[in-house]
Amino acid sequence: MIREKQASSEIVIDLTGPAGNAIALMGQARRFARQLGLDSKQILDEMKQGDYEHLVEVFDSYFGDYVVLER
């Protein structure tokens, strides 16, 4: 199937792909935190305090207004 490009300003991260692994999400969190003037060390430390689901929940709590996470 071929479709026309759809203009979208939202950032989407596919959690089932390589952009959704823990290391990639922490890298994105660091970049987004810098851009938003947040303390990236605090956010990353909080992300590391649990399992992968906890990491995703913390990411979403800080950046869910700017990023769509897809499973």
The pTM is what? 0.88
* For range 4-29, the mean pLDDT: 90
Q: What is the pLDDT of residues 19-65, one digit of tens each?
A: 999 999 999 999 999 999 999 999 999 999 999 999 999 999 999 99
Report pLDDT for 30.
98
Report pLDDT for 14.
95
Report pLDDT for 9.
76
Three-class HEC string of the chain: CCCCCCCCCCEEEECCCHHHCHHHHHHHHHHHHHHHCCCHHHHHHHHCCCCHHHHHHHHHHHHCCCEEEEC
